[in-house]
């Protein structure tokens, strides 16, 4: 039997209606508690994509020495850390960690959205039309990061890297010294013309050595054969798990080319399989270790910030689900990976000369089929609810029988916002607020939907709003957000139904996240360093405190928009 979800999460939101306190440094003065405290040589931010907050607790007995356990005992471990906004996605999470604020301020509301100003759907790190030649960059982020402050105040260096492009870019300073991500088409680490990379010959050398090719025709098997994976997670062939990139539903998972005559497709399938396995994390760790050695991070006269975004946990969780043997395995391997990284930092930088902070960008919802077996109300909601079915409702309500109109400017589901076609509303002489309300009420009455919120509600005074309303507002940014946002009930996700009937259909998207429920908002937060008071802490905090924590460790002010302070007593006086 799989371990049941361990919290009182069956209720819609266990979110305490706490006020997230605003504390802002107002000048470029050192943020450390004492002016004579020695500055560290290096501060490292590690983000594990989709590492849910309960993993480090329920699997703690299985961890080895020197990895997660070292952070839990030698550092401060915050067990009750929750994102305070509703739309819990990768781009928003990574940005929030380094800016110290919410999407309502930093502007990165999702991984992609509709840009009304330019009339196009855009990704979070996509350049605007006038900057297209510069390529990928943080153009759409509206708030400064802790790396920006470090570069401005101390002329320090910032290096950011991930498998995911958006993770690397959105953690990095505006003009980071290095910002790189993995390209699954070429099998190389890459950057864009936006960033200056001259004089870093080690990157070309790493790519030429083809480190990413070493797993071809090999298998990903269980990390520790002595551990009873069934006892600690569940059966290896749970009915609604995915199959990845020709990896299959059960262990061992092969790494191979696709069976086509197209060499490009063959190679990309292999590289996608690598990143959808713990070997993607191994690949990034090797690249990070090369950066530490060749850039002499923490070993020069500067104060350095290194941001590392481990992505593979997310791909694995989406494919096999959070209660799978695969997620248990990547978590065990992540523990071993952290030991390797900490040992390297001890050797290269020296104990007492660096800080390491670790968190995640979001959690994940259990597979609805698994939640049902745990006697929870759960289901998959057809994505068409937000597109064709919603348009059908509007046609029936506002048009003569049989008539149709293009109600939405984005015909496909981009995120849980729907974007009205304003020209249609204008032609029909309809007030937008009235149509918003009608559609939101219709959404709220549909199976699996908790509630829908309108743009008009987001723009209104919310002093007496519910906590859910406030969480949605923290995810709202007027320039990017749509006109109605839909919130699913707990253990319900937008996904094609009946996936259990065909394991190979939609092979990589079986579980997901993006709701304001505890399983999506809860993430770990751990900090270890020379002035950190160690211990386990259960007070509720927001991951956005990370920006102020990193700033204090670096000895610089928090970013200008940071609204979440360093937790009391974290740093020794």
Q: 């890459």: which residue's tokens?
A: 190
Mean pLDDT calculated for residue range 98-110? 98
Q: 């909601």: which residue's tokens?
A: 381
| DSSP, residue by residue, 262-302 | -HHHHHHHHHHHHHTSHHHHHHHHHHHHHHHHHTTTTSSSS
Give CA–CA dist 247/250, Å, rounded.
Answer: 8
Determine the pLDDT at residue 182.
98
Express each pLDDT in 401-435 by its tens digit.
999 999 999 877 778 999 999 999 999 999 999 99
Q: List phi, psi (to 5°) of 492.
A: -115, 135
Mean pLDDT calculated for residue range 238-258? 96
pLDDT tier at 67, thresholds 50, 70, 90: very high
Question: With respect to CATH, is domain 42-62+85-126+148-372+513-554 assigned 3.60.21.10?
Answer: no
Assess contact for 115 and 139: CB atoms under 8 A: no
Express each pLDDT in 443-481 by its tens digit.
999 999 999 999 999 999 877 899 999 999 999 999 999
Give CA–CA dist 211/202, Å, rounded.
Answer: 13
Neighbouring CB atoms inside 10 A of 467's CB total: 14
Q: For residues 15 and 183, which has the higher predicted lDDT (pLDDT)?
A: 183
- Domain regions of the chain by residue span: 42-62+85-126+148-372+513-554, 379-489
pLDDT tier at 2, thresholds 50, 70, 90: very low
Mean pLDDT calculated for residue range 216-241? 96
Assess contact for 115 and 77: CB atoms under 8 A: no
Determine the pLDDT at residue 16.
34
Proportion of the chain above pLDDT 70, given as a percent = 93
Mean pLDDT calculated for residue range 310-326? 98
Assess contact for 355 and 44: CB atoms under 8 A: yes
Express each pLDDT in 133-159 by its tens digit.
999 999 999 999 999 999 999 999 999
Exposed/middle/buried for residue 568 (C-beta within 10 Å: 0-12, 13-18, 19+): exposed
Give CA–CA dist 328/316, Å, rounded.
Answer: 10
Whether 298 has a pLDDT exceeding 90, the answer reads: yes
Neighbouring CB atoms inside 10 A of 517's CB total: 26
* 523 bridge partner residues: 81
Q: List phi, psi (to 5°) of 79.
A: -90, -10
pLDDT tier at 37, thresholds 50, 70, 90: low
Mean pLDDT of the chain: 93
Whether 18 has a pLDDT exceeding 90, the answer reads: no
| DSSP, residue by residue, 225-260 | TTS-HHHHT--TT-TT---TTTT-SSSSEE----SS
Q: Give the lowest-confidence range in 236-245, 352-361, 367-376, 493-502.
A: 493-502
Say which residues have a Cβ less than 8 Å from residue 391's Cβ, sequence separation at least 6.
404, 405, 407, 408
Greatest alpha-carbon pair distance for the chain in Å reads 76
Determine the pLDDT at residue 28.
61
Q: 């990379």: which residue's tokens?
A: 197
Whether 15 has a pLDDT exceeding 90, the answer reads: no
CA 158-161-163 angle, 5° bins: 170
Neighbouring CB atoms inside 10 A of 434's CB total: 12
Torsion angle of the four alpha carbons 398, 399, 404, 409, in this order, in degrees rounded to the nearest 10: -30
Give CA–CA dist 533/506, Å, rounded.
Answer: 46
Mean pLDDT calculated for residue range 6-23? 37
Q: Decide the pairing of beta strands 178-183 and 188-190.
A: antiparallel
In CATH, what is the architecture of 379-489?
2-Layer Sandwich (3.30)
Give CA–CA dist 558/555, Å, rounded.
Answer: 9
pLDDT tier at 34, thresholds 50, 70, 90: very low
Neighbouring CB atoms inside 10 A of 420's CB total: 21
Express each pLDDT in 509-567 by its tens digit.
999 999 999 999 999 999 999 999 999 999 999 999 999 999 999 999 999 999 999 99
């Amino acid at each position: 039997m799989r371990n049941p979800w361990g919290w009182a999460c069956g209720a819609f939101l266990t979110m305490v209606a706490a006020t997230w306190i605003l504390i802002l440094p107002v000048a470029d003065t050192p943020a450390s508690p004492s002016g004579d405290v020695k500055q560290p040589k290096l501060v490292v931010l590690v983000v594990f994509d989709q590492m849910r907050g309960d993993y480090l607790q329920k699997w703690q007995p299985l961890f080895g020495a020197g990895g997660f356990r070292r952070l839990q005992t030698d550092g401060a471990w915050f067990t009750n850390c929750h994102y305070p906004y509703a739309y819990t996605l990768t781009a928003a999470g990574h940005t929030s960690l380094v800016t110290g604020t919410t999407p309502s301020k930093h502007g990165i509301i999702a991984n992609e959205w509709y840009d009304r100003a330019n009339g196009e759907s855009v990704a979070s790190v996509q350049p605007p039309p006038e900057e297209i030649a510069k390529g990928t960059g943080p153009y759409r982020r509206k708030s400064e990061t802790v790396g920006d402050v470090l570069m401005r105040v101390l002329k320090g260096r910032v290096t950011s890297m991930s498998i995911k492009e958006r993770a690397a870019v959105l953690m990095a300073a505006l003009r980071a010294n290095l910002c790189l991500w993995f390209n699954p088409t070429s099998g190389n680490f890459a950057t864009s013309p936006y960033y200056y990379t001259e004089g870093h010959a080690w990157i070309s050398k790493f790519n030429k050595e083809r480190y990413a090719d070493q797993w071809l025709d090999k298998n990903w098997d269980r990390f520790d054969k002595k551990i009873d994976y069934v006892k600690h997670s569940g059966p290896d062939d749970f009915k609604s798990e995915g199959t990845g990139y020709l990896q299959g539903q059960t262990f061992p998972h092969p790494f191979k080319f696709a069976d086509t005559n197209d060499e490009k497709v063959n190679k990309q399938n292999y590289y996608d399989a690598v990143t959808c396995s713990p070997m993607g994390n191994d690949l990034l760790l090797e690249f990070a270790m090369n950066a530490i050695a060749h850039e002499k991070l923490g070993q020069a006269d500067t104060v350095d910030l290194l941001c590392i975004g481990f992505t593979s946990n997310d791909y694995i969780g989406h494919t096999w689900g959070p209660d799978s043997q695969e997620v248990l395995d990547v978590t065990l391997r992540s523990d071993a990976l952290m030991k390797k990284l900490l040992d390297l930092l001890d050797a290269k930088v020296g104990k007492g000369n660096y800080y390491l902070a670790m968190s995640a960008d979001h959690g994940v919802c259990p597979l609805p089929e698994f939640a049902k077996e745990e006697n929870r109300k759960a289901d998959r909601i057809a994505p068409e609810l937000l597109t064709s079915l919603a348009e059908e409702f509007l046609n029936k309500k506002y048009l003569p029988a049989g008539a149709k109109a293009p109600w939405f400017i984005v015909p496909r589901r981009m995120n849980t916002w729907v974007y009205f076609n304003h020209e249609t509303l204008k032609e029909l002489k309809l007030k937008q607020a009235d149509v918003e309300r009608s559609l939101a009420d219709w959404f709220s009455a549909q199976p699996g939907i908790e509630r829908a919120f309108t743009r008009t509600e987001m723009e209104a005074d919310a002093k007496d709003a519910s906590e859910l309303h406030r969480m949605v507002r923290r995810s709202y940014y007027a320039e990017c957000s749509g006109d109605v946002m839909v919130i699913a009930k707990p253990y319900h996700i937008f996904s094609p139904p009946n996936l259990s009937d065909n394991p190979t259909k939609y092979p990589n998207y079986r579980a997901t996240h993006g709701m304001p429920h505890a399983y999506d908002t809860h993430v770990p937060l751990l900090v270890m360093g020379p002035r950190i008071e160690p211990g386990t802490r259960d007070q509720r905090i927001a991951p956005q405190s990370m920006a102020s924590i990193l700033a204090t460790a670096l000895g610089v002010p928090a970013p200008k928009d940071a609204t979440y302070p360093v937790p009391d007593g974290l740093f020794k006086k």
